[in-house]
């Protein structure tokens, strides 16, 4: 859709400086993309990314801020975090602890050995996937109804992380899966019964036909999402029936996160692993492991990147999925 504005002459110098030209503000194109099955939808409004911000930060040094918090409780997790009732799970470079403030019956922090949350590599991501899953399987032994496993990573404060030290979180709940994953499960089932098709496979195929995918590992596809929840959202999609600890998926996710940090320059991000329940997973056979990753922007930016549109309406995004996928190639 297009919209137009009528700037007063007094504003023109400022508009030119901020947005490149007055014409760019006079006539604007906003693109709305909706997935008709899932109703995921995004408004692409490129000028939004160029808006000036009051109180814009200057002179912040992220590395120094991270280093200043060294010697926190997560630097010595065995005394700095509570243990789970079933005991800690140790990976090669990560260790679990109980989250002191539980969000579900089973809720762990997975603390990285390295303090700096950006000090990760492909091997650490594989270690994280394996340790998280081992934690979930152990928790399930004592509570067989708890099958809904979720792995999340909030990197830095901008993404909701309250502790800077590198860590992810694992949750395990019973009953229906976490709401957004249950929603996908329903959409996949409804699509199959209405059209006889595989919804996830078709979403990937649509992106592939538009040049918005990369085959990052055998059977693992990176998708620059056409209906992103916020800036630069990527999906890492495995094959139905593939385990997230499968080395192909782990390597695909690890490479994607490393490229997100190094080539795109992302510093603060959210990652969530969507996968079917660990057992009793009737009707989930078409749901592959999917990691969703979103950029939360400059850690020193004062306004939040999300507002009422993102919470209650349709997210507004300034970044271009085509530029994103090209930068990752």
CA atoms within 13 A on the CB side of 121: 5
Q: Judged by CB, which is closer to Zn ion: 164, or 204?
A: 164
Q: Judged by CB, which is closer to Zn ion: 74, or 260?
A: 74
Closest approach of Zn ion to the CB of residue 29, in Å: 46
Closest approach of Zn ion to the CB of residue 76, in Å: 8
Q: How far apart are CA 167 and CA 156, in angstroms?
A: 10
Closest approach of Zn ion to the CB of residue 110, in Å: 14
Phi/psi of residue 294, nearest 5 degrees: -135, 140
Closest approach of Zn ion to the CB of residue 205, in Å: 43
Closest approach of Zn ion to the CB of residue 187, in Å: 40
Q: How far apart are CA 74 and CA 97, in angstroms?
A: 10
Closest approach of Zn ion to the CB of residue 116, in Å: 8
Q: Judged by CB, which is closer to Zn ion: 165, or 177?
A: 165
Closest approach of Zn ion to the CB of residue 171, in Å: 22
Q: Judged by CB, which is closer to Zn ion: 67, or 279?
A: 67
Q: Judged by CB, which is closer to Zn ion: 70, or 218?
A: 70
Q: Judged by CB, which is closer to Zn ion: 67, or 103?
A: 67
Buried b (16+ CB within 10 A) or exposed e, 242-267: bebebebbbbbbbbbbebbbeebebb
Closest approach of Zn ion to the CB of residue 166, in Å: 8
Closest approach of Zn ion to the CB of residue 79, in Å: 13
Q: Judged by CB, which is closer to Zn ion: 71, or 202?
A: 71
Q: Judged by CB, which is closer to Zn ion: 117, or 289?
A: 117
Q: Using CB atoms, what's the residue nearest to Zn ion?
A: 165
Asked whether the beta carbons of 158 and 268 are under 8 A apart, the reply is yes
Largest CA distance in the chain: 70
Q: Judged by CB, which is closer to Zn ion: 33, or 75?
A: 75
Sequence-distant (≥ 6) Cβ neighbours of residue 9 within 8 angstroms = none
What are the residues binding Zn ion (CB under 5 A)?
72, 74-75, 115, 165
First to last CA, the chain: 30
């Amino acid at each position: 859709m297009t919209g137009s504005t009528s700037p007063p002459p007094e504003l023109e110098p400022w508009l030119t400086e901020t947005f490149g030209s007055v014409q760019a503000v006079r006539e604007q194109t906003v693109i709305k993309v909706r997935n008709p099955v899932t109703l995921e939808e995004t408004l692409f409004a490129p000028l939004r990314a160029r808006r000036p911000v009051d109180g814009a930060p200057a002179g912040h040094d992220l590395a120094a801020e991270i280093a200043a918090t060294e010697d926190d409780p997560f630097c010595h997790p065995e005394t700095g975090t509570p243990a789970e009732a079933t005991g800690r799970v140790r990976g090669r470079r990560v260790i679990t602890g109980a989250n002191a403030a539980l969000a579900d019956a089973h809720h762990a922090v997975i603390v990285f050995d390295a303090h700096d949350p950006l000090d990760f590599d492909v091997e650490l991501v594989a270690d994280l996937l394996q340790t998280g899953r081992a934690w979930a399987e152990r928790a399930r032994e004592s509570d067989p109804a708890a099958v809904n496993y979720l792995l999340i990573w909030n990197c830095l404060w901008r993404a909701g992380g309250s502790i800077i030290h590198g860590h992810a979180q694992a949750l395990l709940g019973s009953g229906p899966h976490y709401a957004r994953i249950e929603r996908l499960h329903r959409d996949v089932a409804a699509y199959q019964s209405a059209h006889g098709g595989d919804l996830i496979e078709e979403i990937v195929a649509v992106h592939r036909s538009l040049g918005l995918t990369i085959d990052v590992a055998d059977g693992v596809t990176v998708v620059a999402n056409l209906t992103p929840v916020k800036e630069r959202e990527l999906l890492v999609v495995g094959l139905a029936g593939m385990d997230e600890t499968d080395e192909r998926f782990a390597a695909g996710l690890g490479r994607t996160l490393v490229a997100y940090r190094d080539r795109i320059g992302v510093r603060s991000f959210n990652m969530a692993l969507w996968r079917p329940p660990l057992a009793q997973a009737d009707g989930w056979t078409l749901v592959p492991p999917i990691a969703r990753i979103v950029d939360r922007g400059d850690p020193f930016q004062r306004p939040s990147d999300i507002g009422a549109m993102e919470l209650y309406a349709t997210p507004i995004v300034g970044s271009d999925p085509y530029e994103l996928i090209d930068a990752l190639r």
